[in-house]
Amino acid sequence: MNRAIKVYVGMSGGVDSSLTAALLVEQGYDVTGIYMKNWTQDLPGMKCPWADDLADAKRVAVQLGIDFKVFDFEKEYKQKVVDYMIYEYKSGRTPNPDIMCNQEVKFKLFLEASLEDGADMIATGHYARVEGGRWKVEGGDTEIANSQIPNSNSHSLLMQAVDKNKDQTYFLYRVTCEALGKTLFPLGEYTKPQVREMAEERGLYTAGKKDSQGICFVGKVGIRDFLSVYVEQKPGKIIDMKSGKVLGHHDGAIFYTLGQRHGLDLGGGFPYYVVGKDMDKNEVYVTTDLNDDTLWKTSVNLTNMHWINHAPIDGTYQIRVRHRAKLVDAKLKTDGSNVKLKLDNPERAVAAGQSVVVYDGDICLGGGIVI
């Protein structure tokens, strides 16, 4: 007996995931909307928007006439994402919680829970594309035999989105090939303005809703404000790197990262930039020299590598050192389980704990964590 492919769509209450669900319904998939309840805690001065987001997602599901469920991952999110982020900052590094959320929650817990609940695939509103062995609907016809449902061992390539300004492959580089083989990214072929226009044309409730900011699922809150809830503020010295002079004081070295300019409150004269910190001494080191060698790197060492399909051979590739940073050429050389990158031109403020993602043209190969 043939049946439509059953897709569980992660619906966050935003315009991107709303249009994702709408497009899949139009293409003939059997769609169920899923809200991932990952964080509900209010923070000082900031109310967590989860209840409003859930209500918005429900409204869109009703508009589309699709089933809707809530998956509660709050405990796992705290352990896998928040605790990881706090530990990394306490260690003096600069982690990316959105990358960890994709690795551990959206494309692991959500995928596993969806498949266990009867889904064949999942979908999200990420701006990315999957190509390769992934089974694809042609002409909107999704009636297939059960035996034809794509398997998780397909050779799937993670590709940059058509809209390079919105491309989110940087955040997705730690997703497995197997997960990609079970994932749909309908928005990868569109630009953000097109997505807004398509949502408005369909009268979706969230068409005019602003994009979310801040930490993934937590809401519009800065890293400093978030960390302040979990770590004790410890006053320390801000020291000029070259002269050794104490220029001022801070509330904790944990709140500062390489290249940071704002939040130093040193006042007057040329702006200061963070060029280092000592977590044991709780000291932050700064300079007014924007060309200081500490701020610029022509070589980057990566560890904790993740390759979506297989490790690339040594050679020249393109890398991205942060979201929306330009792709730049780099020579990649494997060094045991780590990777060394040599850059033709220096990159600014590449901090330990950050992710560097490796590309071969439009293909996102994977990446690693800066040592």
- Grade residue 224 by pLDDT with cuts at 50, 70 and 90: confident
Tell me the C-alpha distance between 342 and 329, whole Å.
9
Tokens of 170: 């940087």
- Grade residue 136 by pLDDT with cuts at 50, 70 and 90: very low
* Tens digit of each residue's pLDDT (9 = 90 or more) over 279-296: 999 999 999 999 999 999
Q: Would you list the DSSP string of 289-358? A: -TT-GGGEEEEEEEEEEEESSSPPPSEEEEEESSTTPPPEEEEEEEETTEEEEEEEEEEE---TT-EEEE
- At 142 the pLDDT is 42
- Grade residue 168 by pLDDT with cuts at 50, 70 and 90: very high
Please state the length of the chain: 371
Percent of the chain with pLDDT over 90: 84
Instruction: List 277's β-bridge partners, or say none.
Output: 284
**Active-site residue, 216 included:** yes
Q: Residue 219 above 70 pLDDT?
A: no
- At 154 the pLDDT is 54
Phi, psi of 105 (to 5 degrees): -110, -65
Residues 152, 38: contact at Cβ < 8 Å? no
* Tens digit of each residue's pLDDT (9 = 90 or more) over 1-59: 347 999 999 999 999 999 999 999 999 999 999 999 999 998 877 788 999 999 999 99
- Grade residue 135 by pLDDT with cuts at 50, 70 and 90: very low
Q: Among the options 48, 177, 216, 364, which is catalytic?
A: 216
Residue given tokens 């993670």 in the structure block:
158
